[in-house]
Amino acid sequence: MNEPFRSFRGLLKERFPGCKVVKIPIHSGLSCPNRDGKLSRRGCIYCDRYASGPPDTVGWPIEEQVETFMKKHPGRKYIAYFQSYCNTYGPVAVLEKKYAIALRYENIVGIFIGTRPDAISRPAFSLLERIHRRTWLSVELGLQSIHDHSLLLLNRNHTYGQFCEAFQELKRRGIETIVHLIIGIPGETRQHMVQTVEALNALRPAGVKFHLLHVLRGTEMYERYVRSPFPLLSQEEYTDLVVDLLERLHPAIVVHRLSADRERELFYAPSWALNKAKVLRSIRTKLAERGSHQGRLCHDA
């Protein structure tokens, strides 16, 4: 099927024709400066205790996580996805050992490393550059919004300026970046979100992930929401916004994600978001209804 947007699935088909490639979510065991007290102990207000990683493999050695996943999904090629917490945060020798485990497997064809923009030291940038020369490396940077008032509300404890510095340093070293954005941050209007996408167009990362602002149990946002519920996006509002943003997103930027998902036991609200297939269908339907596609309203496409 021809996608009306440049999907990650499409990219994998181009890069690895005839092969199925899947991501192995990995807990590296590293921490996060926004949780360990260096910047804060609160963490981002939406971040759950597994920091996006799968709950059932916490604490496992990396080899065991990789091999268990490969046994469950045999006969494929894999991307090692260092997903939870900040996977560039630590002494470079420790980071190198962790990444080296993934590099040992012949059928791992890429390494994706999730982190915060202010948690990459100089030596870590150099390590990433060395890995980039050996394999397909993508660094996933949490940004969420270019608006510092939103970053403050989310307790991100970094600024858009810091994001730009890390982004440009990765770019200078030839390393591709995937940027995470949150749609529906309280106080943000459609215009704020459009400005974020237009700023990304100017930076031109390799990819973007759109996440719905959702409430997960055990987070600071959950406490606030339960105490005093605030409006969350309806499915229709989310669909409309995502389609508006896709129309403005540069067509070269790969869309890695169009909605967030999480285990049912962690998820709290809005309940419609649990049906990810329906959300994706509604986005495709809306694009078709508008006769539209990614980049249709992008000025520099």
For the bound state, the minimum distance from the C-beta of residue 115 to ligand SF4, rounded and expressed in Å, comes to 8
CA-to-CA distance for 285 and 41, rounded, in angstroms? 42
Nearer to ligand SF4 (CB atom), residue 12 or residue 182: 182
* The binder of ligand SF4 chosen from 32, 139, 249, 260 (CB under 6 A): 32
Question: Could you identify the residue written with the tokens 């979510």?
Answer: 25
* The binder of ligand SF4 chosen from 24, 51, 128, 182 (CB under 6 A): 51
Of the candidate spans 30-38, 196-204, 210-218, 251-259, the one that interacts with ligand SF4 by CB under 6 A turns out to be: 30-38
How many chain residues bind ligand SF4 (CB under 6 A)?
11
Nearer to ligand SF4 (CB atom), residue 21 or residue 39: 39
Site string for ligand SF4, 104-143 (x = CB under 6 A): ------------x-------------------------x-
* The binder of ligand SF4 chosen from 82, 85, 125, 160 (CB under 6 A): 85
For the bound state, the minimum distance from the C-beta of residue 35 to ligand SF4, rounded and expressed in Å, comes to 5
Note whether 221 binds ligand SF4 by CB under 6 A. no
CA-to-CA distance for 193 and 40, rounded, in angstroms? 26
Angle subtended at Cα 185 by Cα 183 and Cα 186, rounded to the nearest 5 degrees: 145
Q: Of 79, 107, 117, 111, nearest to 98 (Cα)?
A: 111
Q: Where are the alpha helices (DSSP H) in 173-234?
A: 190-203, 220-227
Note whether 185 binds ligand SF4 by CB under 6 A. no
Note whether 279 binds ligand SF4 by CB under 6 A. no
Site string for ligand SF4, 237-276 (x = CB under 6 A): ----------------------------------------
Question: What phi and psi values does residue 145 have, to the nearest 5 degrees?
Answer: -165, 150
Nearer to ligand SF4 (CB atom), residue 174 or residue 218: 218
What is the enclosing helix (H) or strand (E) of 24?
Answer: strand 21-26
Of the candidate spans 27-35, 165-173, 224-232, 264-272, the one that interacts with ligand SF4 by CB under 6 A turns out to be: 27-35
Q: Of 35, 57, 53, nearest to 44 (Cα)?
A: 35
For the bound state, the minimum distance from the C-beta of residue 43 to ligand SF4, rounded and expressed in Å, comes to 3
What is the enclosing helix (H) or strand (E) of 25?
Answer: strand 21-26
Q: Where are the alpha helices (DSSP H) in the chain?
A: 8-15, 62-72, 92-103, 122-134, 148-153, 160-172, 190-203, 220-227, 235-248, 276-290
Contact 183, 241 (CB under 8 A): yes
Would residue 174 be called left, alpha or beta, if left means φ above 0 and alpha means ψ between -120 and 50 degrees? left
For the bound state, the minimum distance from the C-beta of residue 154 to ligand SF4, rounded and expressed in Å, comes to 8
Binding footprint of ligand SF4 on the chain (CB under 6 A): 32, 34-35, 43-44, 47, 51, 85-86, 116, 142
